[in-house]
Amino acid sequence: MKLKHWVVLLGAFASAASAWAAPIVIKFSHVVATDTPKGKAAEYFKKIAEERTHGQVQVQVYPNSQLYKDKEELDALQMGAVQVLAPTFSKFGPLGVKEFEALDLPYLFDDMDMARKVTQGPVGQSLLAKLDAKGIEGLAFWDNAFKQMTANKPLKKPDDFRGMKIRIQSSKVMDAQMRALGANPQVMAFSEVYQALQTGVVDGQDNPYSNIYTQKFFEVQKYLSVTDHGYHAYVLIANKKFWDGLPPNLRSVMDGVVKDTTAYFNQIAAQEEADSLARIKASGRTQIVVLTKDEKLALKKAMLPVYKQVEPRVGKDVLESIYKATG
């Protein structure tokens, strides 16, 4: 066979081979139920990534701590055992990226619009860039909701928290704010919270309605106090070596997937929260206690010393950039 025929044959073989090349697999692990904003966004990420890459990228979603629990998932990402996560910004302290914990400060934001001036602006971008040094690509913030308290008694006044064992995420700012109220904070993986509440290992916890509902915390807590005391958002992250190693054509598609999934998350979150609250109310299993503006103010006042206390940890410059961005 002439050389030119061999070239044609090899070319045909090469294009056939690339069509059948093994897909690039993205393992996306998370700790919440599928029927939550983060769970739905992970499924949306999978759907559009596989559609837009025509199957060259395959996304395997592992919800509800099936694959890894809180701290484990970040270790797994850094080792490359999973490629994408979306932890709350409260979980980056143990990695040594303490600046994210500034966003845990109690009553830092009055509403979602104020929060988005940070998460969707230059301050958020500068926080995401701090993950590079840990081998993590900070891709986006997903703005979820404000956190509420659950316990077997109403939590309306600072004194109501005194002596309570309250489960918190791995955040020194959350630790400080619970201690400022005289409570006893207990760091615990999200997957262990339900059983800890049911058995009394801890007396209470804080989360948005979607987590309180889907994890059934409301079934083992007599009161849900609407404190709106903390902001709850996710940071979509990837293993940096993996993400930077994507073929250029796929990388630009995946950047679009990140952008559109973020828009999807930020668009569904408010309705998901409202639906979860309605389902909790309809269950009749827990009493909803709505705090007045003055009661929230009293809680904020009691926790105000935390702002100064954690400044050395989160960085005065980070705090000042947040204050400037939120005016």
What is the phi-psi region of residue 216: left when phi exceeds 0, alpha when psi lies from -120 to 50, beta otherwise? Answer: left
80, 24 Cβ separation under 8 angstroms: no
In the complex with ligand LMR, which residue's Cβ is closer, 24 or 100? 100
Give the x-and-dash track for 77-106 against ligand LMR (CB under 6 A).
Answer: -----------x------------------
Query: Min. distance of Cβ 169 from ligand LMR in angstroms?
Result: 5
Tell me the two tokens of residue 256: 């679009």
Identify the residue among 53, 150, 171, 207 touching ligand LMR (CB under 6 A). Answer: 207
Q: How far apart are the first and last CA of the chain?
A: 76
In the complex with ligand LMR, which residue's Cβ is closer, 155 or 253? 155
Identify the residue among 68, 146, 190, 223 touching ligand LMR (CB under 6 A). Answer: 190
Token pair 């958020």 in the structure block, residue: 124
Query: Min. distance of Cβ 24 from ligand LMR in angstroms?
Result: 25
Query: Min. distance of Cβ 88 from ligand LMR in angstroms?
Result: 5
Query: Cα separation of 187 and 161, whole Å?
Result: 16
Site residues for ligand LMR, window 2-61 (CB under 6 A)?
31-32
Report the SS3 class of residue 151. strand
Q: Taking CB positions, which residue lies at the least distance from ligand LMR?
A: 190
In the complex with ligand LMR, which residue's Cβ is closer, 196 or 253? 196
Tell me the two tokens of residue 248: 């250029």
Partners of 204 in beta bridges = 151, 166
Identify the residue among 29, 148, 150, 169 touching ligand LMR (CB under 6 A). Answer: 169
Report the SS3 class of residue 58. strand
Site residues for ligand LMR, window 210-229 (CB under 6 A)?
211
146, 232 Cβ separation under 8 angstroms: yes
Q: Which residues contribute to the site for ligand LMR (CB under 6 A)? A: 31-32, 88, 169, 190, 207, 211
